[in-house]
Amino acid sequence: MKRARHEVTEPEDADARRTIRPVICYPVETLPRPDLSAYQAVRDGWDKVDEVLVPPREASCFHVPAGSFFRIVSIEGPQVGDLDLWSADDVNERFFSGKTRALHGTHLSTGDQLWSCLPYLRPMATITHDTLDWYGFDAFGGSVHDVIGTRCDPYTHKLLSGHEYHHCCHSNLTRALSERLGRSKEDVEPAVHDVLNVFMCTGFTRDTGQYFMKASPVRPGDYLEFFAEIDLLGALSACPGGDCSSEHSSDAAVCHPLLVEVYRPKAPPAGWISPPRNGYSRRHED
């Protein structure tokens, strides 16, 4: 952790080195962009075709066909959700939180896409509406819907506290996926991956760069809406941290359910085609 211990003498040109301007690692000007207005236009007259309730401190799976939409909705009170996504045909293709962060930044909103892991690397979903878009970044550097956290898990909890807790998001997602696929928990656990932290308000402290959370600004009625670029299997956990204002990995926080709604438009967006797998040849030559 960066604590400026002053154990090492600064070089004479330290300030000059610090003032070099940063460059963006992955400029996105060449990234194919979705036609957001075409997506948003087909929402008129769409049909709600499914609704899945996610109980507090549990997770539920849901299916979204390519070309349909889904919403994650806050219903009874402020609650954070941990979202995993897989290709419905092959759970080896899963959401790649790290590359999504590298391409779109630490927190996602309307127009950003959720990318799948290597060697697939294609958009799995596109965010088409975010009722918390107004939040921006607060004075602490916090914002909502991050791809910087992982998911609360019982292994880290055991390391830090010595205790066993079985309703961390990692365990909730594992149980939900196991039930959905009819496979054992041990078998499906490796498919559970780093999440999109829906509605969670997070950032890094300015002095030590530590991951922080604070009470989510989400209120009942808020939602995050996605367009499914490919056939999706999703799993959403209603985090035991509740609104994540104090702690997670315990039954201490007040928790609420979340709702997933699936909508089918009358016709696909104009010009849209489901994206193919990444075109790299995979030769990895010398």
Nearer to Zn ion, 64 or 239 (CB): 239
**Cβ at position 199, least distance to Zn ion in Å:** 12
**Alpha carbon distance 225, 232 (integer Å):** 14
Q: Exposed, middle or buried by CB within 10 Å (0-12, 13-18, 19+), for 283?
A: exposed
**Alpha carbon distance 208, 168 (integer Å):** 26
Q: Which residues contact 141 (CB under 8 A, 6 or more apart)?
A: 203, 204, 205, 206
**Alpha carbon distance 82, 211 (integer Å):** 16
Q: Name the CA radius of gyration of the chain, rounded.
A: 20
Contact between 152 and Zn ion per CB under 5 A: yes
Order of strands, edge to edge, in the sheet holding 47-54? 47-54, 258-264, 69-74, 223-228, 123-130, 113-115
**Which span sits near Zn ion by CB under 5 A: 13-21, 65-73, 234-242, 278-286?**
234-242
**Cβ at position 271, least distance to Zn ion in Å:** 38
**Cβ at position 82, least distance to Zn ion in Å:** 5
Nearer to Zn ion, 144 or 169 (CB): 169
Contact between 201 and Zn ion per CB under 5 A: no
**Cβ at position 247, least distance to Zn ion in Å:** 11
**Alpha carbon distance 83, 258 (integer Å):** 11
Q: How many CB atoms lie within 10 A of CB 142?
A: 21
**According to CB under 5 A, which residues from 95 to 124 bind Zn ion?**
none
Q: How many residues bind Zn ion (CB under 5 A)?
A: 3
Residue keyed to tokens 């602490």: 140
**Cβ at position 170, least distance to Zn ion in Å:** 8
**Alpha carbon distance 128, 130 (integer Å):** 7
**Cβ at position 200, least distance to Zn ion in Å:** 8
**According to CB under 5 A, which residues from 162 to 181 bind Zn ion?**
169
Nearer to Zn ion, 218 or 239 (CB): 239
Tokens at 149, concatenated: 């956290």
Nearer to Zn ion, 90 or 247 (CB): 247
The single residue among 239, 253, 255, 259 that binds Zn ion, judged by CB under 5 A, is: 239
Nearer to Zn ion, 56 or 269 (CB): 56
Nearer to Zn ion, 236 or 239 (CB): 239
Interaction site with Zn ion (CB under 5 A): 152, 169, 239
